[in-house]
Homo-oligomer: A and B are copies of this chain.
Amino acid sequence: MNVLEEVEAIRQLKYRYLRAVDCKLWDLLASTFAVDAVSAYDSGKNAYVGRDAIVAWLRNAMENQVVTMHQVHHPEIELTSPTTARGTWYLEDRVINDGPKLPEMPAHSILFGTAYYSDEYVKRDGQWQISKTGYERIYVEIRPFEKPAVFQSRWAGR
């Protein structure tokens, strides 16, 4: 086992996961989770068990007209065995809801926040997957979203 190669593979797994979230690629998203993965997003508030439940919740929260940015930084990844690892990441996220009220967002609002992810990963059939994920907020704020003169997104059709 080359530790650096495994760490690089885990980093790319996390990047693929967030590319799937922000580009709304739900099949790609599902492929990044272990079938028995568990989540604890938002300081444990959004806890789900199993890949299908996690992906369904993410899809429901992100679909529609919502524009999201989820970028993670500062990976501190450590192998705990040849096929298991854990890692922390520093999240910056932004969610623009320029539509009606959603489960997590008021109508026409924008969320900014930061958080620390604590993840666990497992390697099965030669592929790393997310087995546990969740984050603790540093801070989060939600403000009214005042649409500017120029606002273009891949989804909002403007």
What is the interface of chain A, defined by CB distance below 8 A to chain B?
A: 3-5, 7-8, 12, 14-16, 18-19, 22-23, 67, 69, 71-76, 88, 90, 92, 96, 114, 116, 136-143, 148-154, 156
Contact = CB atoms under 8 A, between A and B. Distances in A.
Q: List the number of copies, as a whole number.
A: 3
A8 B18 contact: no
7 contacts: A12-B76, A18-B90, A23-B138, A71-B74, A139-B152, A142-B148, A142-B150
Contacts of A92: 69, 71
Given A139-B152, A140-B152, 7 more contacts: A3-B5, A7-B8, A12-B76, A19-B74, A67-B139, A142-B149, A142-B150
A18 B142 CA distance: 25
Contacts of A69: 92, 114, 138-139
A43 to B, nearest CB: 9
